[in-house]
Amino acid sequence: MKTYISAWPASVECPPFPRRLAILGATGSIGDSALKVVAKHPERFTVTALAGGRNGQKLARLCNRFKPRYAAVLDDAARREYFAYVEDGCPTELFVGPDAYVRLAALDDMDLVLSSIVGAAGFEPTLAAAEAGKMIGLANKESLVLGGHLIRAACKASGAVILPVDSEHNALFQGLAGHGSDDELKRLILTASGGPFRGRDRAFLETVTREQALAHPNWSMGAKISIDSATLMNKGLELIEACHLYGLPPDMVDVVVHPQSIVHSLVEYVDGSQLAHLGNPDMQVPIAHCLCYPERVTVDVPRLNLATVGTLTFEEPDLDAFPCLRLAREAFDAGPSHPIALNAVNEIAVDAFLKERIGFTDIPAMIETGLDRHVPVDVSTPEAVLALDDEVRRETRARL
Ligand code: NAD
Ligand code: MG
């Protein structure tokens, strides 16, 4: 019996090409990579909807180029900026406000959603796409951290399928393909680059700056995930993401640090085989895999030459210097409301660090305090999830 949801059920047909695509988070780093894939394979996609956040200018430029039927921005300032840059005759209809994302995620004339908003703001649109039975390329890991139980149930009820864009989970998806029996699986092994501060001790981490923390050695990404990578919270969120995607307990998901980011994760089977996915680190690869699934298409990334790479190294994560990974594991073990609290405190703390209001090591300290104070609550509805997220954010801001 398969328990993982990231496999296309045999009974469901993939939407035909050209696929009518909505990109929620089109103006971000994942949006950039996705639109490179779209531009390389225009015959495979009709860009139906593009949503940005507050970057009206960039969204307008994308609409001028890709001419989607619909677009969305978060607020009036972004709307004004959008109209200052959108060309006369652009056919796009613009929606404004948080509700617009939910609406675009469930459009009738669209089959494929790339969920690439950053943070908890991605939860409601992702759930809406799941309820509407869409094919979903999921980059927004926070939506599973908040409400993986609800998204999973919605997929089951509607026939929606989540294809993991996150490179590690995409690697696992490929390593799991064709193996249907749960008792064949021993464990999943997520690789982590270790971020810019790998090998550093706590005393050094006390001193690091915003710029140092943003400088990821291997991947070019948005600011929030770059800081999450530096604290190892990204791997903590990914551990929770993997448990939801593949229906596994956290003790079946291990993490190994692999500084070169060439091996994107591994699946271990009971016979001792470990299947790894290798490639140069570029998000266009997992994005193209999801958007064109089950077909493979060419992607403009440098080919991997292992002889040139020479050496691949692996080491244990340092959970003393980087407690976020441990905190995420503990939060997932503690029950469904703890990860929501973990994520909310993390988002507020990362934002405060980016604004230089707190230091780097204050991020895990604030999360630990937040989890200690958290009293478990029922989160069996989307409203309860959002209410808890909101409450923890308010409490955390008050402690800054
Ligand atoms: P980013 O900051 O570059 O882009 C975020 C996008 O979300 C932008 O389009 C922004 O306008 C939009 N946005 C921000 N807040 C919003 C809100 N409140 N409502 C609606 N839209 C909002 O981030 P990114 O690096 O592209 O990451 C996006 C998601 O993908 C994150 O969940 C991240 O963890 C995940 N992810 C990213 C990468 C990567 O390489 N960048 C890899 C794996 C997973
Ligand atoms: Mg990842």
Between CA 195 and CA 199 the distance in angstroms is 10
Q: What does pLDDT average to over the chain?
A: 94
CB atoms within 10 A of CB 91: 9
Between CA 188 and CA 175 the distance in angstroms is 9
Report the pLDDT value the prediction gives residue 7, as an integer from 0 to 100: 45
pLDDT at 5 over 90: no
Report the pLDDT value the prediction gives residue 125, as an integer from 0 to 100: 98
pLDDT at 96 over 80: yes
Between CA 65 and CA 43 the distance in angstroms is 15
Of the residues 116, 146, 162, 284, which should be mutated to test ligand 1's pocket, given the most ligand atoms within 8 Å of the CB? 116
| 104-154 pLDDT tens trace | 999 999 999 999 999 999 999 999 999 999 999 999 999 999 999 999 999
Ligand 1 pocket residues where CB is under 6 Å: 25-31, 52-53, 55, 74, 101, 116-118, 121, 139-142, 166, 219, 221-222, 224-225, 283
Q: Binding residue per annotation — 235?
A: yes
Shortest-distance atom of ligand 1 to CA 54: 11
pLDDT at 6 over 60: no
Shortest-distance atom of ligand 1 to CA 143: 32
| 168-189 pLDDT tens trace | 999 999 998 877 677 889 999 9
CB atoms within 10 A of CB 199: 11
Report the pLDDT value the prediction gives residue 13, as an integer from 0 to 100: 66
| 376-393 pLDDT tens trace | 999 999 999 999 999 999
Range list of β-strands (E), 54-171: 70-73, 93-96, 112-115, 135-138, 161-164
Q: Whose CA is nearest to atom 36 of ligand 1?
A: 139
CA distances from 127 to 101, 151, 161, 213, 330 (A): 11, 5, 12, 32, 25
The token pair at 126 is: 């992702």
pLDDT at 1 over 70: no
Q: What is the mean pLDDT of residues 70-87?
A: 98
Q: Binding residue per annotation — 54?
A: yes
Range list of β-strands (E), 218-327: 253-257, 263-269, 274-278
Q: What is the mean pLDDT of residues 294-299?
A: 95
Report the pLDDT value the prediction gives residue 14, as an integer from 0 to 100: 83
The model's pTM is: 0.97
Between CA 218 and CA 300 the distance in angstroms is 17
Find the length of the chain: 400
Q: What is the mean pLDDT of residues 35-42?
A: 98
Report the pLDDT value the prediction gives residue 12, as an integer from 0 to 100: 54
Ligand in closest contact with the CA of 171: 2
pLDDT at 162 over 70: yes
Give residue 150 CA to ligand 2 midpoint distance, Å.
22
Report the pLDDT value the prediction gives residue 177, as an integer from 0 to 100: 82
| 249-291 pLDDT tens trace | 999 999 999 999 999 999 999 999 999 999 999 999 999 999 9
Residues forming beta bridges with residue 191, ordered by sequence position: 256
Give residue 238 CA to ligand 2 midpoint distance, Å.
7
